[in-house]
Amino acid sequence: MARKKVQLQWIMNDTTRRTTYKKRVKGLMKKAKELSILCGVEACAIVYSPYDPQPEVWPSPMEAVRVIGEFECRPENDQTKKRLNQENYIRQRVAKAEEQVVKQQKKNRRMEMDNLMYQSLAGGRGLQDLNIKELSDLMRSIDDRLKPISHKMEYSHHPAPQPGGAPALTAVPVAQKTPLEVALESLENQILMDTAPQPQDGVVTVAHTAGQDMMFPVPHDNYEDPSFWGAPFFP
Amino acid sequence: MARKKVQLQWIMNDTTRRTTYKKRVKGLMKKAKELSILCGVEACAIVYSPYDPQPEVWPSPMEAVRVIGEFECRPENDQTKKRLNQENYIRQRVAKAEEQVVKQQKKNRRMEMDNLMYQSLAGGRGLQDLNIKELSDLMRSIDDRLKPISHKMEYSHHPAPQPGGAPALTAVPVAQKTPLEVALESLENQILMDTAPQPQDGVVTVAHTAGQDMMFPVPHDNYEDPSFWGAPFFP
DNA sequence: GATGCTATCATTAGCAG
DNA sequence: GCTGCTAATGATAGCAT
């Protein structure tokens, strides 16, 4: 794709092939990421690196398995369309609301962080109409998402850890509970409170929040190639 | 990518999103194919989404199934196991905490929570070790999951909502912050605090920041695994 | 809604250090 | 082998049909 048009065929030169592999895997990951974000699809990624005995997985092995599991268990779709419509509606509203929030936020917040920033928002009241499945799914999702980063935590964390050197943004006040617990509980409460009645429903979302795509650009062919495990991608 | 640089964010317009989805899926498939050919790796691509009744598979459903099977059958490594154990532990703690919350909640139900939850966090120093990617992903995940249920949210939310009916468990003291906001920040802290030293684990290593990738470059073999053939994905 | 057409932006092959 | 650079090729957003 550059400097010279490459023939679509196996690259003979080992070094070149490896280099190309690295570059392209990176690019592929990015593409997948973009697709998921732009079109709102959940996904996971697993990469078996030739030189890495262990595969790289994102967001985590468990998450990957979960996603694949959902893929496998996905029922024949009939409701897909209906779901899509509902979700689109929802997403659009949220997106708009988000813009508002972001604007406000930018005004109110004086940030000093130098690397990462993210935002998330949740509906306050009005969750009543929400499908319970969605709620549980939400929780599950959050829970799952916490796993990958949870392993970083000390197995035994303090009952009431003080955010001593914690980032400037927070001040955790609740005693006897870890920030993580508090966080989840808060979120949980938010949901529970607005869940009472479940009028309509009949819908949605078993496991997929919105579109659930999964795409596995994966190795292919020549699986009998013995070199795979020895030198997986680069025979 | 063309005519105009697009923001990496969910496309609100249904038609546009669908169109983009189609184009990009196609492009992704091509990329996967090229990678597999150029670098001589086995690969397959599966795209499953609400936009299509049938999942798109490359090079063939069989190949895809085989690859996924390989991934799932792959034995977990030590690090993974350890991580999973830790995660299970976390899960249990969270589950218990949730129970408590539920009880509490039922008592306090009737709150109003008509505010908008919002949070923004940044990876401060120290996050380097953790994996900003993971954190970022977590936040995005939560964000994504919340979107679908947020449509009920009143469009007009307060800039600085007061946690009036905030969950009982969290005595949120921070003014100008909603329960969710605080919760997430707490979570953030938790992560930051317990992340410092994590020499042994160099894992999880996501390939991307918040990206929801859906790509599984995977090894091969075990395509005869029947468990996949029963799957409804490849009608 | 699907297809065809570019102007543009994005990816990356080939090198250099 | 890895990183950075840039020329070329590749991917695709916005439109027109």
- Measured between CB atoms, does B162 come within 8 Å of chain A? no
Query: How confident is the model at residue A149, as a pLDDT?
Result: 36
Confidence at A224, pLDDT banded by 50, 70, 90: very low
Confidence at B54, pLDDT banded by 50, 70, 90: low
Strand C interface, A 17-46, C-beta < 7 A: 19-20, 23-24, 26-28, 30-31, 34
Residue A52: closest C-alpha in chain B: B203
pTM of full prediction above 0.75: no
In angstroms, the Cα distances linking B155 to A106, A126, B49, B144, B147 are 18, 11, 29, 18, 13
Is residue B116 predicted with pLDDT exceeding 90? no
Give B111-131 as a DSSP string.
----S-EEEEEEE-TTHHHH-
Q: What is the pLDDT of residues B71-84, one digit of tens each?
A: 666 655 544 544 44
As a whole number of angstroms, the distance between CA B26 and CA B24 comes to 5
Q: What mean pLDDT value characterizes chain A?
A: 48
Is residue B123 predicted with pLDDT exceeding 80? no
Query: How confident is the model at residue A194, as a pLDDT?
Result: 35
Query: How confident is the model at residue A55, as a pLDDT?
Result: 59
Is residue B4 predicted with pLDDT exceeding 70? yes
Q: What mean pLDDT value characterizes chain B?
A: 49
Amino acid code (one letter) for A176: Q
Q: What is the pLDDT of residues B208-220, one digit of tens each?
A: 222 233 333 333 2
Confidence at B128, pLDDT banded by 50, 70, 90: very low
Give A187 or B25, the one with higher predicted confidence. B25
Give me the phi and psi of B79, to 5 degrees please.
-60, -40
As a whole number of angstroms, the distance between CA B39 and CA A133 comes to 43
Q: What is the pLDDT of residues B27-50, one digit of tens each?
A: 988 998 898 889 887 766 766 677
> Which residues get their CB within 7 angstroms of nucleic chain D?
A 1-6, 14-15, 18-19, 22, 31; B 1-4, 6, 16, 19-20, 23-24, 26-28, 30-31, 34
Q: Residue window 52-91, chain B: list those with CB within 8 Å of chain A.
A: 53, 59, 63-64, 66-68, 70-72, 74, 76-77, 79-80, 82-84, 86-87, 89-91
Q: Which residue has the tokens 């850890």?
A: A161
Cβ–Cβ gap A147/B184 under 8 Å: no
In angstroms, the Cα distances linking B17 to A95, B10, B97, B141 are 13, 8, 39, 19
Q: Which of A167-171, B4-8, B101-105 has the least mean pLDDT? A: A167-171
Give A136 or A225, the one with higher predicted confidence. A136
Give A54 or B92, the one with higher predicted confidence. A54
Q: What is the pLDDT of residues A129-182, one digit of tens each?
A: 333 334 444 444 444 444 333 333 323 232 222 232 222 222 222 233 333 444
Query: Strand pairing partners for A117?
Result: B122
As a whole number of angstroms, the distance between CA B177 and CA A121 comes to 12
Task: Tell me the nearest-neighbour CA distance from A3 into chain B, angstroms.
Answer: 17
Percentage of chain B lying above the pLDDT 70 cut = 20
Amino acid code (one letter) for A223: Y
- Measured between CB atoms, does B30 come within 8 Å of chain A? no
